[in-house]
């Protein structure tokens, strides 16, 4: 079992920056596919960025060049650095993780976060114009 605890987020003006963190504990041995998804009230879930524990990050087009997903394997922590924030980035952000052997299949175009067993508690990001 893996337990994910999120921190960071909050409110920021457009153009500003925020960083999200997701600390993993429990049975963290092995290779994982990890990522961030966001939920906007009244809308569906949107995949934002994913990365395999062996590297190789992918992003949705709307955040490319602005967001960076990274991992600190020594501390079992996943990050999402969000720069040049826009009002449309507003939402509840969740980190997700799943055991995953093939890093080539840990791509935002291929993964289904609904099938990931591990999820953080969520953190609100609000960007004002």
> Between 5 and 29, whose confidence is greater?
5
pLDDT at 43 over 90: no
CA 129/CA 127 separation, integer angstroms: 7
CA 52/CA 102 separation, integer angstroms: 9
When the pLDDT of each residue in the chain is averaged and rounded to a whole number, the result is 95
How does pLDDT run across 46-70, given as a tens digit for each residue?
999 999 999 889 999 999 999 999 9
pLDDT at 42 over 90: no
Cα angle, residue 71 at apex, residues 83 and 20 outer, rounded to 5°:
40
Percent of the chain residues topping a pLDDT of 70: 100
Sequence-ordered list of residues with C-beta below 8 angstroms from that of 89, at least 6 positions apart, any chain: 38, 63, 82, 125, 127
């Amino acid at each position: 079992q893996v337990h994910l605890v999120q921190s960071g987020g909050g409110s920021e003006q457009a153009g500003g920056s925020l960083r999200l963190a997701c600390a993993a504990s429990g049975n963290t041995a092995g290779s994982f596919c990890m990522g961030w998804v966001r939920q906007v009230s009244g809308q569906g879930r949107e995949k934002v960025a994913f990365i395999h524990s062996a590297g190789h990050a992918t992003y949705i087009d709307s955040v490319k060049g602005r967001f960076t997903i990274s991992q600190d394997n020594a501390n079992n922590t996943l990050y999402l650095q969000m720069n040049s924030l826009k009002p449309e980035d507003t939402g509840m952000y969740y980190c997700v993780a799943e055991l995953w052997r093939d890093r080539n299949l840990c791509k935002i175009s291929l993964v289904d976060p609904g099938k990931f067993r591990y999820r953080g508690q969520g953190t609100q990001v609000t960007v004002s114009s």
